[in-house]
Structure 1
Amino acid sequence: MAKKEEPIMDGPKRMQNELKLMIEDTQLLQFRCLEVEPDNIFKWYGLLMPISAPYDKGAYKLEIDFPEQYPFKPPRLHINTKIYHPNVNERGQVCLPILESEHWLPTSRIEAVLNCLLATINDPQPDNAWSMDMANEYRNDPKKFYKIADAWVERYSEHRPTDAELVAFARKRKKGMQKS
């Protein structure tokens, strides 16, 4: 008799499916080191690894909080690493239209949300900024903006894992999942 596949973690089937897809996804190279809070499928953590300067020199801790009503209500994203970016406020909240209640669609997948987030981090959107001062600086004095952003990356960003470290993380996560 074939062994029934165990769910990744107890929780709504949609969450289990999205988590499984995200763990298996090898295309989303700018979001790595996905982990789930033990015994809470509604809280995920990962590492943003943008590809555009100056953010491409660092990594940024991301926390994803899914409401119990997900997918009918959008998740909340928090960047837990300080970043000088017009679309991210001092508390790490991100201004992303896809996450606003009036724009959220229950058919949206977390991968699409992360792609929007990464597109915004890589290419700031001053028309949708938390900080109008920073947005104006980005528009009117980009040299100053990038100098400050670069200094923040140097000072506050997380270690950007090497390919070998990412492989070791994936191996460790796979072993951990096999034990549970």
Structure 2
Amino acid sequence: MKKEEPIMDGPKRMQNELKEMMENTQLKQFRCLEVEPNNIYKWYGLILPEKPPYDKGAFRLEIDFPEQYPFKPPTLHINTRIYHPNVNERGQVCLPILETEHWKPTSRIEHILQVLIATINDPQPQNAFRVDVASEYQNDLKKFNKIAEIWVMRFSEHRPTEEELAKLARKKKKKK
């Protein structure tokens, strides 16, 4: 038998994780989870940070799972421009947990999202994708916060209220 078992296990694991994520209300800072039609390997959602300077905006997240998931890590892209030391100009996110040498197949997407949200709320300049922004964060926090706030106002998505989120959830349930 070929070594394709992990690939075949992937979708079942992903279906279980997706079901858990859809039912889970613990991640208040990650909402509007959707899966690309006919492609369980691509998920979308909205990050709603709780700490300034990002707490006034919402940021679109794209999650791409490799066919070898959970044996290889997913990739995360923030599709909304954000001034952040751990996110580069193309929206790639620098999270050690997603690096091949640190990846563990037992890692669950919910935990990865918790780490991402914590990193957005509290930048980690030691793991910077953008060294210039990390330096500014460490050496001139006031300037960093001002620029980040401007970017949030200019580029972020509309931040839905709890009422709007509840309305979206009701619409999604009706479609099922």
Per-residue CA distance 1:127-166 (angstroms, 9 max, x = gap) = 0001111111000000100000000000000000011110
Per-residue CA distance 1:89-148 (angstroms, 9 max, x = gap) = 000000000000000000000000000000000000000001111111000000100000
List aligned pairs for 1:121-132, cutoff 5 A: 121-132=120-131
Q: Structure 2 counterpart of 1:37, which letter? A: E
Aligned identity (percent) is: 74
d(CA) in 2 for partners of 1:71, 1:175: 32
List aligned pairs for 1:68-83, cutoff 5 A: 68-83=67-82
What residue is the counterpart of 2:95 in the other structure?
Answer: 96
Per-residue CA distance 1:71-93 (angstroms, 9 max, x = gap) = 00000000000000000000000
Using structure 1 for the length normalisation, give the TM-score: 0.91
Q: Structure 2 counterpart of 1:75, which letter? A: P
List aligned pairs for 1:82-121, cutoff 5 A: 82-121=81-120
What residue is the counterpart of 1:163 in the other structure?
Answer: 162
- Displacement, 1:174? 1.6
User: Any idea what SS the aligned residue of 2:55 has?
Assistant: helix
- How many residues are treated as equivalent by the alignment? 167
Q: Structure 1 counterpart of 2:127, which letter? A: N
Per-residue CA distance 1:29-61 (angstroms, 9 max, x = gap) = 000000000000000000000000010000000
List aligned pairs for 1:1-180, cutoff 5 A: 12-176=11-175, 178=176
Q: Which moved more, 1:110-119 or 1:161-170?
A: 161-170
Moved over 3 A (4+): none
Structure 1, unaligned stretches of length 5 or more? 1-10
Using structure 2 for the length normalisation, give the TM-score: 0.93
